[in-house]
Amino acid sequence: MTIPDPVMVAAADQATETRAIGEDVQATSRGRLVLRRFLRKKLAVFGLFMVVCLFLLAFLGPHLTKWTYTSQDYTAFLQAPSSSHWFGTTQIGEDVFAQTMRGLQKSLIIGLLAALLTTGLAAIVGSFAGYFSGWVDRGLMWLVDLLLVLPAFLIIAMLSPIFRGKTWLIFVVLLAAFAWMITARVVRGLTISLKEREFVQAAKFMGVKPARIIFRHILPSMASLLIIDYTINVGGVILAETGLSFFGFGVQPPDVSLGTLIRDGTSSALTFPWLFQFAGGLLILFVLAVNFVGDGLRDALDPNSGKSRAR
């Protein structure tokens, strides 16, 4: 690259300045500042701890028991939790612990993947709509309005016959394809104001291509928004996934997710609570933990929110 990147130049300038001041005052880097603010929020730290714990549980847990999520114990039907079956057994003798771990794995992976796609899609659609005003903007925002009329849940449920019996990756793509609209609007608004800033104007007049400006200059400037949005989306997508699976429109048997497990347990929640309470409890715990992390990140990354103005 022969033309120097304006942001890099600006950053380099800033760095020299900081170094000059830093001789007598110790400058705090942004990463350190964010980390310090994040660590100050006890609930957020607790949430992060819970997320890590649940991940370890989901992926190490299945190795701690001799049962797999498909194997059946023909000597124990509908048994309450005991030392051989930690979470009890189902009507046909499946081990609820092994099933719950498998369901947790599936829900976690679907949540992380679909949220990544959602945020990515929202960033791209929103920034393109905001950067190229005119008919691109109008067309994309019309699409957003249209998709907001019918709830995503209804659309994905309607499309469920397509992926019945196919890979769950289609389900992940569909989850993301109908969840990006509101974030896209926020990104569009931010892009419109960033577009007028000097560093974008400079890049534009140097002849940098629009797509490059968006990916190199505009989207990195709103990284904190996208990180916060991703965290919140993880919780939202997992709730959507379990909801659809609850009705049989999501993860298909023989595979299990927390949603299918809760559906199977709901009808007997009053009589055989262990079929319902573990899957339900872990689901609530995970989404709650993710929401705490998101809230903490929002306060740590966005200086204008809450009382985090103090360093």
Partner 1 sequence: MAAFLARRLLNYLVLCVLATFMAFALASATFRPLDALAQRQPPPPASTIEAKRVALHLDVPIPQRFGIWAEGVVLHGNFGTTVADAPINDELWRRAGISLRLFLAGTVIGVIAGVLLGVTAAIKQYKIFDHVTTLFSFLILSTPVFVIGTLLKVLWLPVNQAAGTQILYFNGESTAGFSGTGWEMFVDRLQHLVLPTVAIAIGLAAVYSRYQRSAMLDVLGSDFLRTAQAKGLRRGQALFKHGLRTALIPMATFFAYNIGLLIVGATFTEKIFTWHGMGEWFIDSINTHDINAVAAIALFVSVMVLIAGMFSDIAYSALDPRVRIR
* Residues engaged in binding partner 1 (CB under 8 A): 145-146, 148-155, 157-162, 182, 235, 239, 242-243, 246-247, 249, 262-263, 266, 269-270, 273, 276, 280, 283-284, 287-288, 290-292, 295
Residue 148 CB, nearest approach to partner 1 (Å): 7
For partner 1, the closer of residues 131 and 278 by Cβ is 278
Residue 291 CB, nearest approach to partner 1 (Å): 6
For partner 1, the closer of residues 131 and 274 by Cβ is 274
Residue 208 CB, nearest approach to partner 1 (Å): 35
For partner 1, the closer of residues 27 and 53 by Cβ is 53
For partner 1, the closer of residues 172 and 262 by Cβ is 262
Which class for 180: exposed (0-12), middle (13-18), buried (19 or more C-beta within 10 A)? buried
In this structure, the number of other CB atoms found within 10 A of the CB of residue 254 comes to 6
Residue 188 CB, nearest approach to partner 1 (Å): 15
Residue 75 CB, nearest approach to partner 1 (Å): 29
Q: Are 103 and 260 in contact (CB under 8 A)?
A: yes
Residue 35 CB, nearest approach to partner 1 (Å): 23
Q: Report CA dihedral (188, 189, 191, 192) to the nearest 10 degrees.
A: 120
Residue showing tokens 């262990």: 274
Residue 298 CB, nearest approach to partner 1 (Å): 11
Q: What separation, in Å, do the N-terminal and C-terminal C-alpha atoms of the chain show?
A: 38
For partner 1, the closer of residues 129 and 262 by Cβ is 262
For partner 1, the closer of residues 129 and 275 by Cβ is 275
For partner 1, the closer of residues 172 and 283 by Cβ is 283
